[in-house]
Amino acid sequence: MPSVKKFQITFDCADPERVGRFWCEAIGYVPPQTPDGFDSWEAYTAAQPAEQRGSWFVASDPEGVGPRMYFQRVPEGKVVKNRVHLDVRVGTGLVGEERLAVLEAECARLVALGATRGQLLLADEHNESCQNMQDVEGNEFCLD
């Protein structure tokens, strides 16, 4: 049996810090510590060559359990649907109206942070309800 590997989730984006900070707020992750020798991230950024400023951002699980998220600046914009997306598990174990209420409350919180509400998929004989969403740069994700 193969061993479990650590992995990170990488987002291509135009504004890595904006997208990364959204995901920190969305799922309770934290940005990295300020690099050694700098009092703030702003000071670190100012010390970088102009072409590297704001080119990346990292978000990590504060408990060290979940995968690291890496956000990297790319020149091209998003043009098609994601081939991979995150399911943010806010309604696990809930069904019916209770699940819909939790999905709606989390959706409203994330919209206030800059997310966009997508289609609400109601429960059927195979799946529970979920809410399609997009982050601040249009990357699709689901509230599940």
72 pLDDT band, cuts 50/70/90, is very high
4 pLDDT band, cuts 50/70/90, is confident
37-65 residue pLDDT tens: 999 888 988 999 998 988 999 999 999 99
In order, the DSSP letters of 34-49 are PPTT-SSHHHHHHHS-
**pLDDT value of residue 32:** 86
Asked whether the beta carbons of 135 and 69 are under 8 A apart, the reply is no
Q: Report the share of the chain in percent with pLDDT over 90.
A: 75
pTM of the model: 0.88
113-144 residue pLDDT tens: 999 999 999 999 888 999 999 999 999 999 99
Contacts by residues 74-79 (CB-CB < 8 Å, ≥ 24 positions apart) = 74/12, 74/13, 74/14, 77/14, 78/12, 78/137, 78/138, 78/139
**pLDDT value of residue 100:** 97
- Domains of the chain by start residue, with CATH: 8-73 (3.30.720), 86-143 (no CATH)
CA atoms within 13 A on the CB side of 76: 3
